Amino acid sequence: MSSTYYEFGTAADRWDRARMFFDAREYVTAARILGGLVAEVPEQVAPRLLLARAYYHSAQLRKAETELRAILERDPVEHYARLMLGRTLERQGRAAEAAPHLRMAAAMSGESPDTA
Protein backbone atom coordinates (compact mmCIF):
# COMPACT_ATOMS: atom_id res chain seq x y z
CA MET A 1 0.00 0.00 0.00
CA SER A 2 1.30 3.42 -0.84
CA SER A 3 1.54 6.11 1.82
CA THR A 4 -1.26 8.03 0.09
CA TYR A 5 -3.66 5.27 1.17
CA TYR A 6 -2.97 6.12 4.81
CA GLU A 7 -3.58 9.80 4.17
CA PHE A 8 -6.57 9.51 1.82
CA GLY A 9 -9.94 11.01 2.75
CA THR A 10 -11.26 13.19 5.49
CA ALA A 11 -10.26 12.80 9.13
CA ALA A 12 -13.54 10.93 9.69
CA ASP A 13 -12.79 8.58 6.76
CA ARG A 14 -9.34 7.84 8.13
CA TRP A 15 -10.75 7.30 11.64
CA ASP A 16 -13.25 4.78 10.26
CA ARG A 17 -10.56 3.06 8.21
CA ALA A 18 -8.20 2.88 11.20
CA ARG A 19 -10.96 1.40 13.36
CA MET A 20 -11.69 -1.17 10.67
CA PHE A 21 -8.04 -2.26 10.57
CA PHE A 22 -7.81 -2.26 14.36
CA ASP A 23 -10.95 -4.40 14.65
CA ALA A 24 -9.45 -6.77 12.07
CA ARG A 25 -6.32 -6.99 14.27
CA GLU A 26 -4.22 -5.31 11.58
CA TYR A 27 -2.55 -3.17 14.22
CA VAL A 28 0.44 -1.99 12.18
CA THR A 29 -1.81 -0.70 9.40
CA ALA A 30 -4.13 0.95 11.92
CA ALA A 31 -1.12 2.64 13.53
CA ARG A 32 0.08 3.99 10.17
CA ILE A 33 -3.31 5.58 9.54
CA LEU A 34 -3.67 6.86 13.10
CA GLY A 35 -0.18 8.36 13.16
CA GLY A 36 -1.16 10.93 10.56
CA LEU A 37 -4.50 11.55 12.21
CA VAL A 38 -2.89 12.17 15.60
CA ALA A 39 -0.39 14.57 14.01
CA GLU A 40 -3.34 16.46 12.54
CA VAL A 41 -5.42 16.61 15.75
CA PRO A 42 -2.99 16.04 18.66
CA GLU A 43 -5.44 17.39 21.21
CA GLN A 44 -8.01 14.63 20.61
CA VAL A 45 -7.73 11.72 23.02
CA ALA A 46 -9.58 8.99 21.08
CA PRO A 47 -7.23 8.76 18.06
CA ARG A 48 -4.15 8.93 20.29
CA LEU A 49 -5.53 6.26 22.62
CA LEU A 50 -6.36 3.96 19.70
CA LEU A 51 -2.86 4.61 18.32
CA ALA A 52 -1.36 3.62 21.67
CA ARG A 53 -3.47 0.47 21.69
CA ALA A 54 -2.38 -0.39 18.12
CA TYR A 55 1.26 0.08 19.14
CA TYR A 56 0.72 -2.05 22.24
CA HIS A 57 -0.89 -4.90 20.31
CA SER A 58 1.84 -4.79 17.65
CA ALA A 59 4.56 -4.91 20.36
CA GLN A 60 5.76 -1.37 19.64
CA LEU A 61 5.87 -0.75 23.37
CA ARG A 62 8.11 2.33 23.45
CA LYS A 63 5.82 4.06 20.97
CA ALA A 64 2.77 3.02 23.00
CA GLU A 65 4.40 4.42 26.12
CA THR A 66 5.13 7.73 24.38
CA GLU A 67 1.52 8.12 23.24
CA LEU A 68 0.12 7.16 26.65
CA ARG A 69 2.37 9.64 28.42
CA ALA A 70 1.24 12.36 25.99
CA ILE A 71 -2.39 11.58 26.83
CA LEU A 72 -1.72 11.64 30.56
CA GLU A 73 0.22 14.90 30.27
CA ARG A 74 -2.95 16.52 28.90
CA ASP A 75 -5.42 14.55 31.02
CA PRO A 76 -3.87 12.97 34.15
CA VAL A 77 -7.17 11.32 35.15
CA GLU A 78 -7.70 9.46 31.87
CA HIS A 79 -8.29 6.09 33.53
CA TYR A 80 -7.77 3.78 30.56
CA ALA A 81 -4.54 5.52 29.49
CA ARG A 82 -3.27 5.15 33.06
CA LEU A 83 -4.12 1.43 33.06
CA MET A 84 -2.56 0.91 29.63
CA LEU A 85 0.60 2.73 30.65
CA GLY A 86 0.95 0.43 33.64
CA ARG A 87 0.41 -2.64 31.48
CA THR A 88 2.82 -1.33 28.83
CA LEU A 89 5.52 -0.77 31.43
CA GLU A 90 4.88 -4.23 32.90
CA ARG A 91 5.21 -5.80 29.47
CA GLN A 92 8.59 -4.09 29.12
CA GLY A 93 9.74 -5.65 32.40
CA ARG A 94 9.43 -2.37 34.32
CA ALA A 95 7.12 -3.56 37.10
CA ALA A 96 8.31 -1.01 39.66
CA GLU A 97 7.47 1.85 37.30
CA ALA A 98 4.16 0.23 36.38
CA ALA A 99 2.91 -0.28 39.93
CA PRO A 100 1.91 3.35 40.73
CA HIS A 101 0.04 3.67 37.43
CA LEU A 102 -1.83 0.42 38.01
CA ARG A 103 -2.74 1.47 41.58
CA MET A 104 -4.02 4.84 40.35
CA ALA A 105 -6.04 3.17 37.59
CA ALA A 106 -7.56 0.78 40.12
CA ALA A 107 -8.41 3.64 42.47
CA MET A 108 -10.00 5.65 39.66
CA SER A 109 -12.19 2.72 38.66
CA GLY A 110 -13.12 1.88 42.26
CA GLU A 111 -11.40 -1.49 42.14
CA SER A 112 -9.17 -2.92 44.80
CA PRO A 113 -5.51 -2.63 43.69
CA ASP A 114 -5.19 -6.41 44.21
CA THR A 115 -7.78 -7.11 41.48
CA ALA A 116 -6.37 -4.76 38.86
Confidence of residue 111 (pLDDT cuts 50, 70, 90): confident
Q: What are phi and psi for residue 27, nearest 5 degrees?
A: -70, -35
The three-class DSSP label of residue 111 is coil
| Type and span of the H or E element at 114 | none
Mean per-residue pLDDT, 8-26:
94
| Type and span of the H or E element at 59 | none
Alpha carbon of residue 106 to chain centroid: 18
Q: In the prediction, which pLDDT does 115 show?
A: 47
Rg (C-alpha) for the chain, rounded Å, is 15
Least confident among 21-25, 58-62, 106-110: 106-110
Q: In the prediction, which pLDDT does 112 show?
A: 64
